[in-house]
Chains A and B, each alone.
Chain A
Amino acid sequence: MRTLFALCAAAATAFPAILSAETAPTEVSFSEYGEVFESLTGVPGDPEEGYKSAVSRGAGNCVACHTAQGWSQEQFPGDVGPELTGVGARYEPAQIRGILVNAKHTFPETVMPAFYNVSNLYRPGDGYTGKAAKSPDVTVLTAQQIEDILALLLTFTEE
């Protein structure tokens, strides 16, 4: 697994011009089941970077709501959402990518935030400052962070 990622990462840096094209949040296309089949960046995700984004309060903060064997060393994960242990075996990558980009396509009305979305937001703020967002284009996570967290979750294959 590790070597495969290393190879992909090497390949990615070899063709930066082609691969830097990112899909904008408003351009992401969802299947009727909420899946997103295409990579948002073309750059394979890095699970170690994904881990950092998943546990950091300023980034995905997935630990606020989810526990997972994969981050069992983190203190006091929350239980607002289901446990993510084994999620990489339960779901196809496109389904997980869709859930990360905007879970409401998969689970209507869910409390899980949309992490790569700029539409239908009310009073978006500038991080945790309580002030207004500096730009209307901010997303909680970057396209690459989504791919990185996806890569991390795909390693969560054991129940």
Chain B
Amino acid sequence: AIGNTATAEPDLDAVLVINDELEMVTITEAPAHLEGALDQAISGWHFRDAATRRLETDDFENPAFLHVEQGLTAWETVEGTEGESCASCHGSIEESMKGLRAVLPKVNADGELWSMENYINDCRENRMGAEAWGWNTAPMRDMTAAIALQSRGMPVNVAIDGPAQPYWEQGKELYYKRHGLLDLSCASCHEENNGNYIRADHLSQGQINGFPVYRLKQSNMISLHNRFYGCVRDTRAESYERGGPEFRALELYVASRGNGLSVEAPSVRN
């Protein structure tokens, strides 16, 4: 091999403990539906360098917490024509939102697959009389980070059967479909080549238990659909709309590949 290639394997012995008390499941047996594809589901945390990994172990060092603070402030803030805040209906975010991140996206009462952002905007528009937030805007990312935090450490557990099944199938098809001029699928990079390097990037399994993530490269929170958007764009394809039906179905499918991993949001990536 040549000296200019970085070839550290993911450090699978590392253990993620947050604030010296919360031990996370970052490696677990892959769900049954992945038999033959992956033996283990591994969090993206393992594929980052030691310095990046360390940032996630302490909430005072994790830069995402500045954004969580913004989200918590917005939770208490009255907005819109109805004079309501999130807190006026839901009460404490710690109680009312606990466990939610782990089961999203899910099929709503009307049979539609909804991500957390859909629920938030539904409340803003139809219950608060406030304007919807753009899917990939700062207030939306901050709120999803604050809500996701309430499930930190709980196992991802999205439903893939019943009414979710057709969405799951759609997401699975997208995952394995080669896209773009480079003719690559999610699986080309994240299933077949996790552990390898694509240029300087250490390919992970593309798990989503850490989203929204704080990305050091952008010095900002990154929404899941923006990450999807970038990965599809990098196949030199026409990407999909953030928040659109394709990415929501993909979100469900990819989440299901990590069922059993701890919700790690808000995580830190480079």
Contacts and interface: CB of A to CB of B under 8 A. Distances in A.
B236 A122 contact: no
Interface in B176-192: 177-184, 188-189, 192
B199 A125 contact: no
B193 interface: yes
Given A64-B199, A123-B180, A80 B193 contact: yes
B234 A77 contact: no
Interface residues of B, number: 35
Given A130-B229, A130-B232, A140-B236, A123 B199 contact: no
Contacts, number: 105
A140 B181 contact: yes
A67 B181 CA distance: 22
Contacts of B133: none
B5 A76 contact: yes
A138 interface: yes
Given A83-B1, A122-B180, A140-B182, A130 B238 contact: yes
A73 B4 CA distance: 8
- Give the bracket for the number of chain A residues in contact with chain B: 35 or more
A127 B203 CA distance: 22
Interface in A130-144: 130-133, 138-140
A3 interface: no
B198 A69 contact: no
A64 B174 CA distance: 24
Given A67-B5, A77-B5, A113-B181, A130 B233 contact: yes
Contacts of A127: 236
Contact of A77 (B4, B183, B239): B4
A55 to B, nearest CB: 10
Contact of A111 (B188, B199, B200): B188
Nearest to A69: B2
A63 interface: yes
Interface string A45-66: 0000000000000000101110
A64 B5 CA distance: 11
A74 to B, nearest CB: 7
Contacts of A63: 199
A78 B181 contact: no
Contacts of B12: none
Given A72-B2, A74-B4, A122 B178 contact: yes
B198 A121 contact: no
A122 B237 contact: yes
Contact of B196 (A75, A80, A124): A80
A133 B190 CA distance: 25
Interface of B: 1-7, 177-184, 188-189, 192-193, 196-201, 203, 229, 232-239
Given A67-B5, A78-B196, A130-B239, 8 more contacts: A75-B4, A76-B5, A79-B197, A121-B180, A123-B237, A124-B181, A133-B181, A133-B238
